[in-house]
Chains A and B, each alone.
Chain A
Amino acid sequence: DQQVKQNSPSLSVQEGRISILNCDYTNSMFDYFLWYKKYPAEGPTFLISISSIKDKNEDGRFTVFLNKSAKHLSLHIVPSQPGDSAVYFCAASAIRGKLIFGQGTELSVKP
């Protein structure tokens, strides 16, 4: 039973436009959510996070939105750059330290 789902395996976006990556979850006990970016042959790198007491968090070009009633979060990247091309994982936590990851979405930003 997949508690965290990223239903789009891939996404292609033009440079300069907005990239929107989506993530759905089923466990209402999740209270902390994170996004990671992963390049090939490297470990995931932390991007941005959000607590369940908030509905939005921004860090530069990256914004995460949380809709608790829909059990949905999204990552917006504006403007998208070719260097953003990577696999993006969302993760959720109900118990400290135990992250549940989605399957990942491969983002391709075309010049």
Chain B
Amino acid sequence: DAGITQSPRHKVTETGTPVTLRCHQTENHRYMYWYRQDPGHGLRLIHYSYGVKDTDKGEVSDGYSVSRSKTEDFLLTLESATSSQTSVYFCAIEDGSYEQYFGPGTRLTVT
């Protein structure tokens, strides 16, 4: 298994609060990604990173920001959580082969 962990694994938060999800890898891969999974939509790309301090937006980036200050950590922040951001969030890493390897996911509930 790829060395990729996510924390927390579960979180319940209230509307309007900021939330930060963490993705940590031990593989030293350059590429990292954040997705959300919702019924009927598969997985949708939120943000991605091609290296330290090098990030870009995906298809559903509104309301989210990311930071990557170290190769091993990629943080996803919900600036002001809304109920529409209730979802399962997956981080993925890639070694340059086009094949992405996913973490175990974080289930986020916004009440």
What residues of A have a CB within 8 angstroms of the CB of B94 in the complex?
97
What residues of B have a CB within 8 angstroms of the CB of A4 in the complex?
42
On whether the beta carbons of A49 and B99 are closer than 8 Å, the reply is yes
On whether the beta carbons of B102 and A43 are closer than 8 Å, the reply is yes
On whether the beta carbons of B98 and A44 are closer than 8 Å, the reply is no
Main secondary structure of the interface of B (DSSP, over half): strand
Tier of interface size on chain B = 20 to 34
What residues of B have a CB within 8 angstroms of the CB of A98 in the complex?
45, 48, 58
Main secondary structure of the interface of A (DSSP, over half): strand
- A46-B100 CB under 8 A given contacts A97-B31, A97-B50, A103-B42: yes
Q: How far is the CB of A25 from chain B (nearest CB, A)?
A: 13
On whether the beta carbons of A49 and B48 are closer than 8 Å, the reply is no
Q: How far is the CB of A69 from chain B (nearest CB, A)?
A: 23
On whether the beta carbons of B102 and A103 are closer than 8 Å, the reply is no
What residues of B have a CB within 8 angstroms of the CB of A59 in the complex?
none
- A34-B48 CB under 8 A given contacts A43-B105, A97-B33: no
What residues of B have a CB within 8 angstroms of the CB of A49 in the complex?
98-99
On whether the beta carbons of B33 and A101 are closer than 8 Å, the reply is no
Q: How far is the CB of B35 from chain A (nearest CB, A)?
A: 8
On whether the beta carbons of A43 and B104 are closer than 8 Å, the reply is yes
Q: Which of B41, B50, B98, B101 contacts A103 (CB 8 A)?
A: B41
- A102-B98 CB under 8 A given contacts A43-B105, A97-B50: no
Q: How far is the CB of B34 from chain A (nearest CB, A)?
A: 12
User: A-side interface residues toward B, CB under 8 Å?
Assistant: 4, 6, 32, 34, 36, 41-46, 49, 89, 91, 93, 96-104
User: B-side interface residues toward A, CB under 8 Å?
Assistant: 31, 33, 40-45, 48, 50, 58-59, 90, 92, 94, 98-105
A-B contact pairs, 8 of them (CB 8 A): A34-B99, A34-B100, A43-B92, A43-B102, A44-B102, A89-B43, A97-B50, A101-B44
